[in-house]
Amino acid sequence: MQITAFLGVAHIHTPGFVSTINKREDVSCKYVYDHESERAQKRADELSAQVADIDTILGDPEVTSVVICSETRHHLELVTKAAQAGKNIFVEKPLATSEEEASLMEAEIKKAGVEFQTGFFMRGSAANIFIKREIEAGNLGTVTRMRYTNCHQGALAGWFDSEWKWIADKNEAGGGGFADLGAHALDIVLWCLVPTCGEVKKTCATLGSATHRYGDIDEWGAGLVTFESGAVAIVEAGWVDPKYSAPIEVHGTRGQILVQGNKVFYYSELVEGADGGEWTDLPAGTPHAFSLFWDKVAGNEVPLVTVEEASRESRVMADLYASA
């Protein structure tokens, strides 16, 4: 039985993580910490756990891992202390709000040699796995462009009016809708393109607010990311899209992929049958990033987000905000 603890329970995904732990037979939560005592007690009751302080949690040898779901501005302190205590770490995305903090946490986690995972669950999508596979197989030729959009109606629907209001507070979260949902979109772009197109060379972005429901924080944004090969990616994200999901596009000199809703359309001069119509021969998806963390800690060989990848996303996002 793996014994874990929560360091912070502010994140909007916390209820889902609590449910996952309660359903697993191989994980038990012993403690919950949060700087807001009422919030800590609520989640502790749901987990049949104790409310405790950070030192108690990290000093308990039974606790082999921690789940960090605090406001993003607390990540540096909590991740650093957990790594130095030798605890395996799941930390919600984004890892950091600045290049400096991302690099500091990356260094501490590498030094500690602990297992690391973050909440980039969109890597588990069959379509995203397919895109990465076909790019790396060379079946699109030279990749020139990629476009990835991740939006919902959070600001329109008032999702951050009460319990989750810190997510729309730049001092707590580091950014608004572009940082929040753009973290996922940017992760997929970097995951798919860096191995083939090289590191990011330059960025530019624009940010905006449509409703001003949460003051002057950005509700949406668009960024342009240029890689060493010359390939470019457009990353779009925000909280003000009422219904439709924008298509995902990847363009190469010998092939293209378009994802519209649940359908994948594929053209490749190098793949038999890839004539531009719907493509259904997709790889299997993978479990949620949170579930993969527990599988890995249990000793199974499963794909996790590396700390280098999480740090890279935070650094590139910080550059995008600086350019806006």
pTM over 0.95: yes
Q: Residues 236, 271: one domain?
A: yes
Is position 39 within any domain?
Answer: yes
Is position 154 within any domain?
Answer: yes
Q: Residues 153, 113: one domain?
A: no
Cβ pair 278, 264 in contact under 8 A: yes
According to DSSP, residue 155 is labeled H
Other beta carbons less than 10 A from residue 179's beta carbon: 27
Intra-chain end-to-end CA distance of the chain, in Å: 47
The one-letter amino acid at 35 = H
CATH code for the domain in which residue 84 is found = 3.40.50.720
Total number of domains in the chain:
2
Is position 324 within any domain?
Answer: no
What is the span of the domain harbouring residue 150?
Answer: 126-284
Cβ pair 250, 135 in contact under 8 A: yes
Spatial distance between the Cα atoms of 317 and 313, rounded to a whole number of angstroms: 6
User: Residue 319 has which token pair?
Assistant: 């550059």
Spatial distance between the Cα atoms of 255 and 271, rounded to a whole number of angstroms: 9
Q: Residues 86, 174: one domain?
A: no
Closest by CA to 251, choosing from 268, 237, 229, is: 268
Q: Residues 181, 226: one domain?
A: yes
Q: How far is CA 29 from CA 25, 62, 64, 75, 304, in A?
A: 11, 11, 11, 20, 21
Spatial distance between the Cα atoms of 56 and 286, rounded to a whole number of angstroms: 35
Q: Do strands 27-33 and 50-51 pair parallel, antiparallel, or not at all (unpaired)?
A: parallel
Q: Residues 78, 149: one domain?
A: no
Is position 296 within any domain?
Answer: no
User: Residue 125 has which token pair?
Assistant: 């999508």
Write down which residue in 68, 98, 118 finishes a domain. Answer: 118
Q: Residues 137, 103: one domain?
A: no
Spatial distance between the Cα atoms of 81 and 109, rounded to a whole number of angstroms: 10
Element (H or E) spanning 188, and its range? helix 177-197
Is position 131 within any domain?
Answer: yes
Q: How far is CA 19 from the centre of its chain?
A: 19
Q: Residues 68, 167: one domain?
A: no
User: Residue 119 has which token pair?
Assistant: 């909440």
Spatial distance between the Cα atoms of 118 and 288, rounded to a whole number of angstroms: 11
Spatial distance between the Cα atoms of 180 and 238, rounded to a whole number of angstroms: 8
pLDDT of the residue at 49: 98
**Unique residue bearing structure tokens 């609520």:** 42
Q: Residues 58, 111: one domain?
A: yes
Q: What backbone torsions phi and psi does residue 146 show, to the nearest 5 degrees?
A: -145, 145
Per-residue pLDDT of the chain (324 residues; tens, 9 = 90+): 999 999 999 999 999 999 999 999 999 999 999 999 999 999 999 999 999 999 999 999 999 999 999 999 999 999 999 999 999 999 999 999 999 999 999 999 999 999 999 999 999 999 999 999 999 999 999 999 999 999 999 999 999 999 999 999 999 999 999 999 999 999 999 999 999 999 999 999 999 999 999 999 999 999 999 999 999 999 999 999 999 888 999 999 999 999 999 999 999 999 999 999 999 999 999 999 999 999 999 999 999 999 999 999 999 999 999 999
Q: Residues 16, 148: one domain?
A: no
Would you call 73 exposed, middle or buried from its count of C-beta atoms within 10 A (0-12, 13-18, 19+)?
Answer: middle
pLDDT of the residue at 245: 85
Closest by CA to 202, choosing from 226, 232, 167, is: 226
Q: How far is CA 53 from CA 12, 35, 36, 56, 79, in A?
A: 22, 9, 11, 5, 15
Q: Residues 141, 106: one domain?
A: no
Q: Residues 155, 171: one domain?
A: yes
pLDDT of the residue at 213: 97
Write down which residue in 87, 118, 149 finishes a domain. Answer: 118
CATH code for the domain in which residue 133 is found = 3.30.360.10
Is position 303 within any domain?
Answer: no
Other beta carbons less than 10 A from residue 253's beta carbon: 11
Write down which residue in 118, 138, 168 finishes a domain. Answer: 118
Is position 72 within any domain?
Answer: yes
Q: Residues 112, 219: one domain?
A: no
> Treating both helix axes as pointing N-terminal to C-terminal, what angle do 99-112 and 75-84 enclose, rounded to 10 degrees?
10
Is position 175 within any domain?
Answer: yes
